[in-house]
Amino acid sequence: MILTRLAFRSLIARRITVGLTILSIALSVALFMGVEKVRTGAKGSFADTISDTDLIVGARSGSVQLLLYSVFRIGNATNNITWQSYQEIAERPEVDWMVPISLGDSHHQFRVMGTTEAYFDRYHFRGGRSLSFAQGGRMDDLFDAVIGADVARELGYELGDPIVVAHGIASFTEHDDLPFRVAGILDRTGTPVDRTVIVGLDAITAIHVDWQGGARAPGQTTPAEELRQMDLTPDAVTAAMVGVKNRIQIFQLQRWINEYPSEPLLAVLPGVALQELWGIVGIAETALIGVSGMVVATALIGMAAMIFSGLNERRREMAILRANGARPLTIMGLLTLEAAMMALAGALLGAVMLYLGLWLAQPWIDAAFGLYLTIDAPSAREGMVLVTVVLAGAATGLLPALRAYRLSLADGMTPRT
Amino acid sequence: MAEALALTDVAFRWPGRAGFGLSVPGWRVAAGARLLLLGESGSGKSTLLSLICGINRPDRGRVEVDGTDLGALGSTRRDRVRAERIGVVFQQFNLLPYASPTDNICLPLRFAPERRQRAEAAGRGGARAEARRLMTALKLPEEAIDAPRAGLLSVGQQQRIAVARALIGAPPLLIADEPTSALDAGSQDAFLDLLFTQCEAAGTTLIMVSHDDRLAPRFDDAIRLEDIATIQRTGFAA
């Protein structure tokens, strides 16, 4: 006990260098655990983006691509699903519900998504949560739009404000003759819905009535009132979310869709597609963890260097211990204990810094990146990281401890400095 | 009469220091004696002390402390014997400046279970109580006894802490290496009075090393290092 107390007091006596060393370990640990948090948070955030949807259906491409453009609004579809195919799938006995998604237009930097009212009932995120309205409600009129929380915040929109949809992505051509009206603003979800303008599927058809081959037909302008009376059944949709009546039918339906003879379609399970996505980004993840691991290793080596550089000044201290009966191995153990104590202090401080940082930055990260980082109690994996840092610190401390062992053997009771 | 220390036909040469060696044909110190060992700087005092304390093992001969031949023991056992049977007071006192006076005094007990038992028995309230008793006996004021760090104390107070550390658990042999060199004559006398009283109370044999032969009348016996040891500076034949 007295040795532990002495090791602690010795550290306190050298508090500036020890403090800086602990700080460098703490920062490296916070970085390492932070990377881990962001990595698992990003995964969780992605995985939480969609739940309770059994299949996503789109034109045949890659499953990751389908997931990205239909759920995350990243990239574009290579093709559409014809409305006929959509209806055939919807009429399958396995299908409980099906929600169409029509993408392709935009408003400023945000995607415009055409869908049906069922989207608000069927789209679930973060383990089954439903969309809710901060203001207003669903679309009542053909030209009503519901906007995500980020759209409202970044563009400063309020209920009743007009929205002019641009044709395509990053296009200068606008559907300015048929503006929409903000009918509802959604609560924040932490999903791509926050950055989406949702309109009716028929509205997407309506704004393209006067368009042919991607351009407005010259001199042709159908009034809104007339459009409201028209049959606005779409020719095609971009993708669809599907729920089955019985989950054991998922694979049967998936196979049927993937072998659909009339057009090449692809049905993916969101979870499986996400796993594929993790496989793709896994290399970058590993590299990131590797770099942050190196930062931890550098901090521990820095600690060993600090102990090394202080050894000469501490030869008298070691000689005192020797004179009072300490064995060279005891002195070696004392220095190893000291290193372990510094590593422990650094690891704990790093964890505190991380959680404090998370607590402070969580709202900002959520707002800026749509990345919701949960603040849970440290996981077993994080506990393992902390224990590993302490053990690695003690192991690193063995190097200067070995030197101290040799010095104490050579010096005896009289340090030769 | 029993011997606290006996050196017989001892020879030692520092490893890697060709040319510096020390030999002691024979030297005995009776138990309970108060002996002054006189020697100038560089006369081989530190080498002799390292042999007596078992830090170094002689190349030849026997170094017996309280009847135990240190040369026959492995390094671990020698460290243990040093902790159990020898108290050391250094010229610079060699306290751990960041540790409390009590922790400094109790330090050797960490490595010496028998000495710890003796200290606990003597202190009645444990080793820390005995440390406090010793500090009080050595006339340390309360504020010094309760100081958070030994480094905060005056030179004289640190010196008495060093003596208390050497005396705790009543080791059979106390070696004091120039403990009075930083003191004026009056303080030297007072310090020696305290040291003698405490050594007598603990039944501890005292060997004090000094270059100051004016201290000789205060001791039972005074001996010059060159009278008991030979230094080889240009070659040593084992």
Please write the tens of the pLDDT for every residue from A63-103.
999 998 898 888 888 889 999 999 999 999 999 999 999 99
pLDDT of residue A413: 64
Q: Which of A215, A240, A268 is the last residue of a domain?
A: A268
Tokens of A396: 């690193």
E strand or H helix at A47, and its extent? helix A15-48
B23-34 pLDDT tens trace: 999 999 999 999
Residue A276 lies in a domain: no
Considering only CA atoms, give the Rg of chain B: 18
Asked whether residue A161 falls in the same domain as residue A289, the answer is no
Proportion of chain B above pLDDT 70, given as a percent: 95
Asked whether residue A320 falls in the same domain as residue A195, the answer is no
Asked whether residue A15 falls in the same domain as residue A72, the answer is no
Strand-strand pairing, A95-107 and A239-244: antiparallel
* Contact across the interface for B96 and A322, Cβ inside 8 Å: no
Q: How much is the average pLDDT of B207-224?
A: 90
E strand or H helix at A162, and its extent? strand A162-163
The CATH fold of domain B3-232: Rossmann fold (3.40.50)
DSSP code for A169: S
A vs B: CB pairs below 8 A: 78
Asked whether residue A103 falls in the same domain as residue A212, the answer is yes
Q: Which of A245, A268, A291 is the last residue of a domain?
A: A268
pLDDT of residue A327: 82
pLDDT of residue B131: 93
CA neighbor of B96 nearest in space, from B152, B45, B41: B152
Q: For chain B, what percentages of helix, strand and coil (3-state, to nearest 5) are there? A: 45, 25, 35
**Helix pair A380-411, A315-323: axis angle to 10 deg:** 80
Asked whether residue A104 falls in the same domain as residue A152, the answer is yes
Question: Is pLDDT above 50 for B237?
Answer: no
DSSP code for A166: B
* Contact across the interface for B96 and A9, Cβ inside 8 Å: yes
Residue A417 lies in a domain: no
- Hunting for tokens 């459009």 — which residue is that? A227
Q: How much is the average pLDDT of B95-105?
A: 91
CA neighbor of B219 nearest in space, from B176, B187, B186, B181: B176
Asked whether residue A296 falls in the same domain as residue A364, the answer is yes
Q: Which residues of B touch A321 (CB under 8 A)?
A: 107
A222-256 pLDDT tens trace: 888 888 888 888 999 999 999 999 989 999 999 99
Residues of B near A (CB-CB distance < 8 A)? 46, 49-50, 53, 55-56, 75-76, 79-80, 82-84, 88, 90, 94-99, 103, 106-112, 149, 165
Chain centroid to Cα A210, Å, comes to 40
Tokens of A158: 């309020």
State the burial class of residue A23 (Cβ atoms within 10 Å of its Cβ: 0-12, 13-18, 19+). Answer: middle
Tell me the C-alpha distance between A125 and A192, whole Å: 11
The list of chain A residues with pLDDT below 70 reads: 1, 170-172, 214, 367-370, 409-417
- Measured in residues, chain B has a length of 238
Tell me the C-alpha distance between B221 and A323, whole Å: 25
Bigger pLDDT: A176 vs B160: B160
B40-75 pLDDT tens trace: 877 788 788 888 988 888 999 999 998 899 888 888
CB B180 within 8 Å of CB B146: no
pLDDT of residue B236: 43
* Contact across the interface for B103 and A326, Cβ inside 8 Å: no
Tell me the C-alpha distance between B9 and B17, whole Å: 21
The alpha-carbon gap from B111 to the nearest alpha carbon of chain A, in Å, equals: 6
Q: Which residues of A342-378 are buried (b: 16+ CB within 10 A; e: fewer)?
A: bbbbbbbbbbebbbeebeeebeebbbeebbbbeeeee
Asked whether residue A138 falls in the same domain as residue A165, the answer is yes
Asked whether residue A38 falls in the same domain as residue A59, the answer is no
CB B98 within 8 Å of CB B104: no
Q: Which of A224, A242, A268 is the last residue of a domain?
A: A268
Q: Which domain holds residue A162?
A: 55-268
The alpha-carbon gap from B189 to the nearest alpha carbon of chain A, in Å, equals: 26
Asked whether residue A264 falls in the same domain as residue A292, the answer is no
* Contact across the interface for B84 and A330, Cβ inside 8 Å: no
pLDDT of residue B238: 40
ipTM over 0.90: no
For residue B47, the SS3 value is helix
Bigger pLDDT: B112 vs B181: B112
DSSP code for B218: G
Tokens of A42: 């990003």
DSSP code for A338: H
Asked whether residue A308 falls in the same domain as residue A395, the answer is yes
Q: Which amino acid is at A379?
A: S
Residue A277 lies in a domain: no
Report long-range pairs for B182-188 (Cβ below 8 Å, ≥24 apart): B182/B91, B182/B155, B183/B156, B183/B159, B187/B156, B188/B215
Residue A31 lies in a domain: yes
Q: Which residues of B touch A416 (CB under 8 A)?
A: none
Residue A274 lies in a domain: no
pLDDT of residue A232: 87
User: What's the structural domain count of chain A?
Assistant: 2
Tell me the C-alpha distance between B44 and B177, whole Å: 12
Chain centroid to Cα A154, Å, comes to 21
Tokens of A124: 């679930």
Tell me the C-alpha distance between B135 and B156, whole Å: 12
